[in-house]
Amino acid sequence: MSEKIPNFYASRRTFMGAERIHNLAEHNLDYAMLGVPYAEGTFAPYIQAGQAEMPNALRDNPVTIFFDIGDVGLYDVDTDLTLLEGIKIGDIGDVVISPGEGELNRNRITNSVKEILKSGAVPITVGGDHSITYPLVRGFEDCGHQIDFVYFDAHLDFADMPLQSEFNHGTQTTHIRKFPFVRNITVIGARNSTAAEFRRAKQAGIRIIPVSEVDACGAKAIMQEVIDANVPTYVSLDIDGMDAVYVPGTTHPESGGITFKQQKDLLFELNKAAKGNICGFDIVELCPANDVNHITALTASKLTALIMGYRSHFLNK
């Protein structure tokens, strides 16, 4: 924190207190943080909604928990690393969402990613429901190289037209699997999908790592297996991949999940194995109205800061 303490202060309402960016071309950002206030991929009345409020819930977290990221950095006591010192992070605002216009909204999400990539920054996206990951990954279609896709989730999201719906938060991996530029897909933490969906995902070549394997093998061994440092990896984190006790505000809480410590270790080892070759990240599925004392919003912000910090650390080694 600054040594000069003002008599009054109003914090920015931005992700982690980052600078608000209005023109990407005028800035040389390392990370461009984008909000996608979208919840139209959620089934009603079966599943809780409210994910459209997630971006602002993270913006409302106290910026002091991040200790002036970009200035003095974020100290990670577990690894004895000061992360994000000197790294330029900007909040570029939210994708404009038009109600009832699914394809239009998906195109806006995709075009937002392409604009971020054109600027040279890495897209860091705060959802929204998990259906947004399909158009986010589609934003890499013109990059001219393959990418791998790793996602943390209690569910496979590899459904086949549930309730006659093609685009929802249970089918994004179904669509991502069809991209010719996506090479390998790995899901970590899946534990609540049908047997038929598990069979279909395995037949499609998706590597499924249940929580029991995380417990038995540990983060380092898992990431050494699934990550290829020569291929950029896109990472998607559905917060329900963690056990419900850590994320009470998630849309679809599931017991028997990853602990916070395991999730943190997995992100660290993922970036270490990838040597920082992470091309994008999103975090999704918080329903702020169901949160308890901002626990889930704070956890989501911390994990987002950590993946940026770990990426920059290993990229610069």
The answer to whether the Cα torsion of 114, 119, 120, 123 is positive or negative is negative
Q: Is residue 130 annotated as involved in ligand binding?
A: yes
Residue 265 marked as a ligand binder: no
Which amino acid would we find at residue 266? Answer: L
Q: At 18, which amino acid appears?
A: A
Q: Is 243 annotated as a binding residue?
A: no
Amino acid at 5: I
Q: Is 78 annotated as a binding residue?
A: no
240 is in an annotated binding site: yes
Task: Give whole-number Cα distances, 286 to 55, 153, 165, 256, in Å.
Answer: 9, 13, 22, 18
Q: Which residues contact 169 (CB under 8 A, 6 or more apart)?
A: 41, 42, 129, 130, 131, 157, 284, 285
Tokens of 124: 């860091």
Is the separation of the CB atoms in 285 and 240 below 8 Å?
yes
Residue 169, annotated ligand binder?
Answer: no
Return binding residues for Mn(2+): 130, 153, 155, 157, 238, 240
Binding site: what residues are annotated? Answer: 130, 153, 155, 157, 238, 240
